Structure 1
Amino acid sequence: MDVEPPVAAALARELTVPPDPTAAAFFDLDNTILRGASIFYFARELYRRDFFTVRDLAQMAWMQARFKALGEKMEHVHLIRERALSFVEGHTVDEITAIGEDVYDEVIKDKIWPGTQALAQLHLDEGQRVWLVTATPIEMADTIARRLGLSGALGTVAERVDGVYTGRLVGDPLHGKAKADAVRALAEHEGLDLTRCSAYSDSANDIPLLELVGRPCAINPDARLRAHAKAHGWRVRDYRTGRKAAKVGVPALAGVGAAAGGVVAGAALRRKHH
């Protein structure tokens, strides 16, 4: 039997979680929500579309392999990001945004850590807002946040003039202390109580962000963050098999390097046959 409209409305009200205006959660992206570095997946798609050469991709693939095995090495991530920026110079925002949508559909959606996504959903279910806070370009971050049903994203901003990228950044990459500063500013603007907020990251580079909130959590942590979290009684969640970041050595990296070469070769073959 159908439920009468007034009864259905009452049930809907009971099932609706009221907003929690002063609490929120902030999630790093790479190696926290996503396996690997989002900028590498984006760069790989740019390569497939002839934005740059196989040699460029080979170097970025090796950096991506080290990133997944050892955790965040910002000199590598910065190099990948700077190269990607130079390759999009002269292209339109609409074009690059559309490529980002394709990258999500073809690659990123299958590399989301289910455990971290479930944590984000728990905050949403409690009526809290959830933001990505990442050094990834804001266009990619916005796409991922929207596809995951999150509240929004803070990311690195590339300069554009009349809808065309210049190849330069606006300000600095959203990394380290800059993340904490951005979240502090957002909290002030949104009326958040940071002592009631949560933050999640895999990297010791994000300790300033994690220390900013009342409920920090290390996700898939690198060795430095794991030690820091243990010393300070922070929550730790590791969704990887074998806790690779704490155990990987040079022999393992050699195997990862071979895998990176396979990624490059596979991309080259796919492009050849398109």
Structure 2
Amino acid sequence: MERFDMTSAYSGESLQISRGDVTISVTDLSGDGPPLLLLHGLAGSSREMLATADALIDSFRVLLVDQRGHGRSTRRPEDLSREVFVADIVAVMEQVVPGERCVLVGQSMGAHTAFLTATPRRDLVDRLVMLEGHVAGNDDPDQAAMLGRYFASWPVPFADEATAREFLGDDAIVDAWVADLEAGPDGLQPRFEADVMERTIRAVHEPRWAEWEALEVSTLAVFAMDGMFSEAQKDELIRRRPATDRVDLAGGSHDAHLDAFPEWIRVLRAWLRPETC
């Protein structure tokens, strides 16, 4: 599996968007072209989208967003509804790039946030790309609790990065998790709370077919060969909204932006700017 350097520093302008008792961290990488927002998945951060950002900076003004409860944004927000995640992204667009329509690109939970933003705010969203994202939800009530238990099982603080890697394993997302660890007096801590992740994903697990079928902006759904969703689930997404473009990658896991990066970028650039391919 090809690895990408997750330790590189953010090089753009760091912005803080205040929303009541929550602060949303945004990095404006600038770039040439219309604005494009990148949205990470659950328990991730904008750091894992840096390689994607670098590949797009020649064509877009790229904004990296840490969603609430993640990264450098407020760690323990009280409200974790899908509606406030959407309101956060609307606030970012209205305050950072006022008067412009943005491209939204999200992975997993970030794709879910992006589509829920695009449906009611066509005035702010030009196009939408969903990598390993879906809208059907999950009717197993234990799935969110299982994720919460997993994150709570991390023996934190980790003494060092090697200890963290030994516990976390070798999945594609681990490089991003390790790079994001925050140094404290007793060791390295993740930049999220297990119970916040559980509450966040529980809201994502509610079905959103009505919003999906009402979506009007141009949309690309990208799925990985070894991703999270079955063929039936992928087919249903397109059947419910036939105007959606769909690409199935020849490789990659649910974190295909990390472990199928070259193919992911080729597909992304081709759909966003067909004339560059």
State the TM bucket, normalised to the shorter chain: 0.3 to 0.5
Give 1 or 2 for the bigger CA radius of gyration.
1
Greater per-residue helix proportion: 1
TM-score between the two structures when normalised by the length of structure 1:
0.32
TM-score between the two structures when normalised by the length of structure 2:
0.32
Greater relative contact order (CA < 8 Å, ≥ 6 in sequence): 1
Greater per-residue strand proportion: 2
